[in-house]
Amino acid sequence: MLESAYEECLAYELSLHGIPFERQKPIPVVYKGIRLDCGFRVDLLVDNLVVVELKAVDTLMPIHQAQVLTYLKLTGCRLGLLINFNVVRLREGIKRVVLNL
């Protein structure tokens, strides 16, 4: 399935459990004191603490982890989850990313 379908399902589950989150949250870049909208969007920001980036790819690549690290830096969050749904067992597709660890 497409990433958007997985995002919809995960958002539904978070809602069912009363976990606060934002979908497709725009993340601005501040450059020389100016706030710029560069098109960065976090798939899910859970409780303003955890960045969740969803994928449905054959293999997670280093660029995917770099994307999560960028989002962590821009949001000020320390923890991110990179979740690839294109795996046999979901736990094999979850990568925890921590900023400054």
pLDDT value of residue 30: 87
Q: What is the CATH number of domain 3-98?
A: 3.90.320.10
pLDDT value of residue 1: 85
Coil vs helix vs strand at 80: strand
Domain range summary for the chain, segments of one domain joined by +: 3-98
pLDDT value of residue 39: 83
Per-residue pLDDT for the chain (101 aa), expressed as one digit of tens each? 899 999 999 999 999 999 999 999 999 998 899 989 888 999 999 999 999 999 999 999 999 999 999 999 999 999 999 999 999 999 999 999 999 86
Backbone CA torsion sign across 11, 89, 56, 37: positive
Helix ranges (DSSP H) in the chain: 3-16, 62-75
Interatomic CA distance for residues 79 and 70, integer angstroms: 12
